[in-house]
Amino acid sequence: MSLLEIKNAAKSFGGIVALNSCSLSIEKGKITGLIGPNGSGKTTLFNVITGYEKVDAGEILYDGKNITNSSPDKVFAMGIGRTFQLTRIFPRLTVIENMHVAAQRQGLRGLMGQWNAPQEQQRALELLDYVGITHLKDTPAANLSYGQKKLLEFAFILIADPQVILLDEPAGGVNPTMINLLASRIRGLNARGVTFLVVEHNMEFVMSLCDKVTVMHRGAKIAEGTPKDVRQNPAVLEAYLGD
């Protein structure tokens, strides 16, 4: 069953076509890899799903509901969390403060309450522990290493209990130990039912982690299947190596 469905999404920036009638569906409870050459529209696809960009045409359905061109806060509140290729954390806030920004609260009373309410604090600490950066909790996020920032960004979206997580190059520029940690956390969450869509250039990471791989080229899907099938698909080889 597909949890997230993109139907004929189109998006251009001036004369550059980023998404060209792109359709794909993300199956519930699976880890889907999204690969393709640079400029094939992967990040744009993430942006239109999460509301950071609006599509020119087409539809995006989440759990049967139309979420086309919803604002980023609504998309996040519905249970779609994402990370960015160039990590976007809050550099002048401490690590633990970063965690609390994403904790969802309703109403004026919630907003007037203390920022680190005990229950949320406990959850935030658990998640920091989950990604192994608890010892840095009072450090300004700007002082973290590149890999630690990626782990922090991954941890703070988890505080809102998203059902779908979109990861934009989670392993890029991160050392192998952290990549392994991240992979095991993704598997762990996936075992609990969280659906993943992962953009990644590290083929080893994609092939070992993903149940299914979708390949994009020039703003559209050109292939999908198991990691093994996709690797042998001539269209994919041509997209990466050809013309």
Partner 1 sequence: MQHLRKVSPLVWLFAGIAFPFVISDPTYTTIAIFALLFAAAASAWNIFSGYTGYIALGHAAYFGIGGYALAIICQHWQIPGGYTPFYLVPLCGLLAAIASVPLGAIALRTRRHTFVVITIATFFILQLLSYNLRSLTNGSSGIDFPLILQWAPGFYNLPFYYVALLLTVLALGVSWFVRHSKFGLGLLAIRDDEDRALGLGVRTGSSKLIAFVISAFFVGMVGAVYSYFLGSVQPSFTFDALFDVAIALMVFMGGIGTLTGPILGSLVLESSQQYAALNFTQGSGGLYLIMYGSLFLVVILLLPQGIVPSAKALWARYQATHTASVLPDPSGSGGANPVARSAPGDGMGLATPREEAKA
Residues forming the site for partner 1 (CB under 8 A): 50-52, 71-73, 75-77, 82, 84, 88-93, 97, 100-105, 110-115, 117, 156-157, 160
Place of tokens 């954390």: 89
| Burial class of 92 by CB neighbour count within 10 A (0 to 12, 13 to 18, 19+) | exposed
Please report how close the Cβ of residue 93 comes to partner 1 at its closest, in angstroms: 6
Q: Among residues 45 and 210, whose Cβ is nearest to partner 1?
A: 45
Place of tokens 């086309």: 68
Please report how close the Cβ of residue 63 comes to partner 1 at its closest, in angstroms: 18
Q: Among residues 199 and 230, whose Cβ is nearest to partner 1?
A: 199
Yes or no: say if 42 and 6 are a contact pair by the CB < 8 Å rule: no
Place of tokens 């994919």: 236
Please report how close the Cβ of residue 104 comes to partner 1 at its closest, in angstroms: 5
Q: Which two tokens stand for residue 84?
A: 């960015």
Q: Among residues 100 and 150, whose Cβ is nearest to partner 1?
A: 100
Please report how close the Cβ of residue 204 comes to partner 1 at its closest, in angstroms: 30
Q: Among residues 92 and 228, whose Cβ is nearest to partner 1?
A: 92
Please report how close the Cβ of residue 81 comes to partner 1 at its closest, in angstroms: 8
* Phi and psi based region of residue 123 (left: phi greater than 0; alpha: psi -120 to 50; beta: remaining): alpha
Please report how close the Cβ of residue 216 comes to partner 1 at its closest, in angstroms: 22
What b/e readout covers 37-70, taking b as 16+ CB neighbours within 10 angstroms?
eeebbbbbbbbbbbbebebeebebbbbeeebbeb
Q: Among residues 1 and 112, whose Cβ is nearest to partner 1?
A: 112
Q: Among residues 117 and 207, whose Cβ is nearest to partner 1?
A: 117
Rg (CA), the chain: 18
Instruction: Name the amino acid, one letter, at 199.
Output: V
